[in-house]
């Protein structure tokens, strides 16, 4: 089946007794019991299908996890309370019983970098950085640092570089490293990293997967070989997503392919329009023919789909001018998220990358005049009109 069909049907409509609910119900309970205590023990021993305690599994969350695994081509999915909890869980799994060493892409979501440098590094994890879009540099870093784990995004946040995930993964495996890919920006509509040999895929489900700005959640998806370890870690650490959030996420995913296709189309038009705007200095968009990774984008993504994100620099702007631009917007929402049905704008210097020192931000190319737009499903003419009037303030 195609992803459009799988998004609607996978994981849903399980038989309960002698009937089948048309959508998965919300099982708002912390525990389950059986007529025979022996059956509860068998459930805890994984000898019988069922549920005993929601930290170990819940029917609503389980349905979502089946859907996620299907969409990403994995054997196991774990729904977590946030995207960052999924990243943390993946890093722990990738380093369990192995040398504690991570090679991370130079430009990532700021909190992922903070997790590595401010939380894991002080505990003894060796953390290093390299540019995955430069294969020679990345391979040299693999040889030098000998990491056991690689962390990167297929579309970097917020500069929208597109890494050759398949080639980076092959190099990492040659050097004995497992690979974690944060697929939040691309979604399985554009890319399925597990099909390219990646070991762990993570998402912030808050973004495109749920798609409506009403839940906080994350996900980790992997192949069978990592099932036992990830299951033990999840049950022990308890980063579980609640059943109410699971229900809303599952409902949101049913329209994921439709939403992403429209967002990609709109983003492509907005990027081209911004390129000709007199108040715009530079535009970052993976589908731009002049983009440094355009050939990688065309090779890895479906035809004419390059994601719904556009970043751009406002000419001669600093913090005050960017604030004035954002305050002048009338329809586009200035909020610290992305992937909603409505368009959003964000200032990386005070949000996604605020924990990085100004010199660090400048070194990786995040200038003080950079803004990031998550293009929604509105009429593209209305998106452009709102950006235009705000840029002219």
pLDDT at 15: 83
pLDDT at 357: 65
pLDDT at 39: 87
Q: Running DSSP on this structure, what letter comes out for residue 56?
A: T
Point out the catalytic residue in the list 12, 106, 161, 182.
182
pLDDT at 351: 67
Q: How far apart, in whole angstroms, are the C-alpha atoms of residue 65 and residue 227? A: 13
Tokens linked to 43: 């459930």
Element (H, E) at 37: helix 37-44
Place of tokens 């497992």: 178
Is 182 a known active-site residue?
yes
Q: Note the Cα 67 to chain centre separation in Å.
A: 16
CATH class in words for 3-253: alpha beta
Per-domain residue ranges of the chain: 3-253, 256-391
Point out the catalytic residue in the list 106, 192, 207, 372.
207
Is 359 a known active-site residue?
no
Point out the catalytic residue in the list 109, 208, 247, 347.
109
Which of these, 182, 263, 175, 249, lies nearest to 217 by C-alpha position? 249
Q: Phi-psi category of 52—alpha, beta or left, where left has phi over 0 and alpha has psi -120 to 50? A: alpha
Q: With contact defined as beta carbons under 8 Å apart, do 192 and 68 qualify?
A: no
Helix (H, G, I), strand (E, B) or coil at 105: strand
pLDDT at 355: 64
Is 13 a known active-site residue?
no
Is 192 a known active-site residue?
no
Those residues with Cβ within 8 angstroms of residue 209's Cβ, 6 or more apart along the chain or in another chain:
68, 187, 203, 217, 219, 249, 252, 253, 256, 339
Q: How far apart, in whole angstroms, are the C-alpha atoms of residue 374 and residue 365? A: 19
CATH number of 256-391: 3.90.1150.10
DSSP string, 204-271: ETTTTTT-SS----EEEEE-GGGHHHHHHHHHHH--BPPHHHHHHHHHHHTTHHHHHHHHHHHHHHHH
Mean pLDDT by 10 residues, the chain (393 residues): 95 87 92 89 86 91 97 98 98 96 92 94 97 97 97 94 97 98 98 98 98 97 97 95 97 98 98 97 96 97 97 93 95 95 91 67 80 97 98 89
Total-model pTM = 0.94
Q: Running DSSP on this structure, what letter comes out for residue 302?
A: P
């Amino acid at each position: 089946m195609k992803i459009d069909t799988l998004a609607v049907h996978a994981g849903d409509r399980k038989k309960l007794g002698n009937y089948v609910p048309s959508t998965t119900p919300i099982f708002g309970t912390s525990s389950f019991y059986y007529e025979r205590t022996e059956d509860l023990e068998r459930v805890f021993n994984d000898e019988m299908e069922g549920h005993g305690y929601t930290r170990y599994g819940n029917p609503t969350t389980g349905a979502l996890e089946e859907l996620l695994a299907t969409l990403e081509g994995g054997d196991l999915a774990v729904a977590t309370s946030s995207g960052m909890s999924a990243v943390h869980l993946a890093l722990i799994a990738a380093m369990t019983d192995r040398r504690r060493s991570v090679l991370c892409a130079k430009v990532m979501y700021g909190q992922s970098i903070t997790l590595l440098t401010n939380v894991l590094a002080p505990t003894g994890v060796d953390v290093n950085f390299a540019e995955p879009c430069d294969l020679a540099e990345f391979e040299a870093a693999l040889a030098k640092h000998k990491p056991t784990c690689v962390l990167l995004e297929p579309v970097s946040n917020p500069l929208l570089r597109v890494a050759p995930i398949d080639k980076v993964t092959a190099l990492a495996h040659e050097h004995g490293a497992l690979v974690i890919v944060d697929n939040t920006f691309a979604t399985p509509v554009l890319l399925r990293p597990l099909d390219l040999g990646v070991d762990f895929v993570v998402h912030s489900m808050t973004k495109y997967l749920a798609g409506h700005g009403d839940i906080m959640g994350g996900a980790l998806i992997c192949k069978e070989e990592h099932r036992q370890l990830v299951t033990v870690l999840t049950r022990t650490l308890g980063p579980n997503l609640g059943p109410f959030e699971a229900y809303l996420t599952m409902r949101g995913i049913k329209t994921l392919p439709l939403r992403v296709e429209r967002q990609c189309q709109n983003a492509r038009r907005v990027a081209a329009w911004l390129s000709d705007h007199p108040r715009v200095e530079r535009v970052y968009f993976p589908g731009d023919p002049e983009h440094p990774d355009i050939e990688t984008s065309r090779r890895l993504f479906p035809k004419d789909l390059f994601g719904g994100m556009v970043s751009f620099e406002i000419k001669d702007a600093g913090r005050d001018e960017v604030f004035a631009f954002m305050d002048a917007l009338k329809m586009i929402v200035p909020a610290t998220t992305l992937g909603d049905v409505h368009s959003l704008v964000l200032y990386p210097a005070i949000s996604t990358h605020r924990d990085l020192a100004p010199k660090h931000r400048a070194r990786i190319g995040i200038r003080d005049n950079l803004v990031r737009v998550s293009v929604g499903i509105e009429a593209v003419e209305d998106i452009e009109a709102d950006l235009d009037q705000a840029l002219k303030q």
